[in-house]
Amino acid sequence: MQRYGSQLKSCALLHACIDSVLPVPSPSFYSSVHSISGVWLTGFFFRRRAAAVCRAGGEPLVIEEIVVDPPKAYELRIRIICTSLCHSDVTFWRMKVCFFCPFHCCSSGPRQASQVCDATLQDFPGIFPRILGHEAFGVVESVGEHVDEFAAGDSVVPTFLGQCSECVDCKSDRSNICSKYGFMPRPGMLRDGTSRFSDGSGNPIHHLLGVSSFSEYTVVDVNHAVKMNPVVPPSMACLLSCGASTGKKFGVTHFINPKDLGEKPVRQEIIEITDGGADYCFECIGLAAVMADAFKSSREGWGKTIILGVEMHGTPVSIPSLEILHGKSVMGSLFGGVKPKEDIPILADKYLNKELELEKFVTHEVDLKDINKAFDLLLQGKSLRCTIWMDRLK
């Protein structure tokens, strides 16, 4: 990894020299000092950095200069090399309300196993300004107290799902959802609920899912980062922090466009093509009606439906109990069942062994300043994954 490590040191030196006169060094400025080897300076003189800020739901992101505070205890500050836009970012971007809250999103600190919450999407106000992005690759710039697992210069992918490796769920093979520091929809840092981002007026900017990668620098909890093999190219490593684990594209033999079927239900077509129903059905877009259709398209006796999408309206799923009685089952899978710290390195090895064709996921590339183009491409159905480069390091 030494490529990015040495580059980062050069940049850190540069920041120390020019922060007092130039708030945000330009990418060309970075490249002009790549050969300078410097003293490792962390945190000191750290000033404003560029970030794409979501000021209001559904509106274009705004490129702003922000302040990224140093990491507190159990936290890392990461220099993001590249990030990409996922459908879940669009879900948060569109929301006029906060993500549903199974674990009391507005409270801070580790979740208690006994906590129960029946809140739905409609129960929470919108949370803006916010830095979106939860799929990224970066290099650790500095670490807070009590961080032994990472050091400055390490290649990492931040993850929206935490892994403490100590709780009942982390120790079990049957779950990938850490019951202590797992999924974190609340808008602040995991442990104290506060933000590490502030805007030009000193007002706080909210985090997203413990990652917030649409920023040159971000701060994440130690449980929300995974070391990455530096041999893996940044844009491929980036995919492993979400898209490659939850996205489904390959192995498709039939594609059905409901518009081509006329009055015929999609489930009927699937049942005919598969001679009785599919063995496995995956719902990836987050719509209750499609989840129910997936279930009804599965085979009696052993058909299994796996819910991967986040139901964006909080609508309950209605499925016939008689079909359950006939042996069909349904289950959910957050992050594709991946335990981040254990499984992401395995996926990286599979990529290096050419068992995972990650390249085919990336259809477009843009710079951070053009991030709204990435939204347009995704919304128009033109891109699968668009890599967003912070300064075009490749």
Beta pairing class for 385-389 and 75-84: antiparallel
- In sequence order, what are the residues at sequence separation of 6 or more whose Cβ sits closer than 8 angstroms to the Cβ of residue 328? 295, 298, 299, 300, 301, 303, 304, 305
d(CA 368, CA 56): 18
Q: Of 69 and 169, which has the nearer Cβ to Zn ion?
A: 169
With DSSP H G I counted as helix, E B as strand and the rest as coil, what are the percentages for the chain, rounded to 5?
30, 20, 50
Beta pairing class for 385-389 and 362-367: parallel
d(CA 238, CA 123): 33
Q: How far is the CB of 240 from Zn ion (least distance, A)?
A: 11
Judged by CB under 5 A, does residue 79 bind Zn ion? no
Q: How far is the CB of 393 from Zn ion (least distance, A)?
A: 23
Judged by CB under 5 A, does residue 161 bind Zn ion? no
Q: Which stretch binds Zn ion (CB under 5 A): 16-24, 52-60, 63-71, 173-181?
A: 173-181
Q: How far is the CB of 243 from Zn ion (least distance, A)?
A: 6
Q: Of 53 and 178, which has the nearer Cβ to Zn ion?
A: 178
Q: How far is the CB of 163 from Zn ion (least distance, A)?
A: 6
Q: Of 214 and 295, which has the nearer Cβ to Zn ion?
A: 214
Judged by CB under 5 A, does residue 101 bind Zn ion? no
Q: How far is the CB of 242 from Zn ion (least distance, A)?
A: 3
Q: Which stretch binds Zn ion (CB under 5 A): 26-34, 90-98, 164-172, 386-394?
A: 164-172
Judged by CB under 5 A, does residue 88 bind Zn ion? yes
Judged by CB under 5 A, does residue 178 bind Zn ion? yes
Q: How far is the CB of 342 from Zn ion (least distance, A)?
A: 12
CA 46-47-52 angle, 5° bins: 120
Among 95, 239, 242, 368, binds Zn ion (CB under 5 A): 242
Judged by CB under 5 A, does residue 164 bind Zn ion? yes
DSSP summary character for residue 244: H
Q: Of 160 and 295, which has the nearer Cβ to Zn ion?
A: 160
Judged by CB under 5 A, does residue 312 bind Zn ion? no
Q: Which stretch binds Zn ion (CB under 5 A): 108-116, 160-168, 200-208, 298-306?
A: 160-168
Residues shown for the chain? 394
Three-state secondary structure of 104-152: CCCCCCCCCCCCCCCCCHHHCECCCCECCCCCEEEEEEEECCCCCCCCC
Q: Of 11 and 164, which has the nearer Cβ to Zn ion?
A: 164
309 sits in which H/E element? none
Q: Of 303 and 309, which has the nearer Cβ to Zn ion?
A: 309
Q: Of 127 and 170, which has the nearer Cβ to Zn ion?
A: 170
Q: Of 4 and 74, which has the nearer Cβ to Zn ion?
A: 74
Q: How far is the CB of 87 from Zn ion (least distance, A)?
A: 7
Q: In the structure encoding, which two tokens stand for residue 62, read together?
A: 């705004």
d(CA 247, CA 256): 18
Q: How far is the CB of 2 from Zn ion (least distance, A)?
A: 29
Q: How far is the CB of 169 from Zn ion (least distance, A)?
A: 6
Residues in the interface with Zn ion (CB under 5 A) total 8
Q: Which stretch binds Zn ion (CB under 5 A): 236-244, 287-295, 321-329, 369-377?
A: 236-244
Q: What is the DSSP string of 279-301?
A: SEEEE-S--HHHHHHHHHTBPTT
Among 11, 86, 225, 374, binds Zn ion (CB under 5 A): 86
Q: In the structure encoding, which two tokens stand for residue 150, read together?
A: 């990472």
Q: How far is the CB of 21 from Zn ion (least distance, A)?
A: 38
Among 81, 98, 157, 170, binds Zn ion (CB under 5 A): 170
What's at 348, amino acid-wise? A
Judged by CB under 5 A, does residue 167 bind Zn ion? yes
Q: Which stretch binds Zn ion (CB under 5 A): 115-123, 148-156, 235-243, 354-362?
A: 235-243
Exposed/middle/buried for 37, CB within 10 Å: 0-12, 13-18, 19+? exposed
Judged by CB under 5 A, does residue 224 bind Zn ion? no
Q: In the structure encoding, which two tokens stand for residue 72, read together?
A: 């507190």
H helix runs in 247-394, sequence order: 266-273, 288-296, 321-325, 340-352, 371-379
Q: What is the CA radius of gyration of the chain?
A: 22
- What is the contact surface with Zn ion in residues (CB under 5 A)? 86, 88, 164, 167, 170, 178, 180, 242
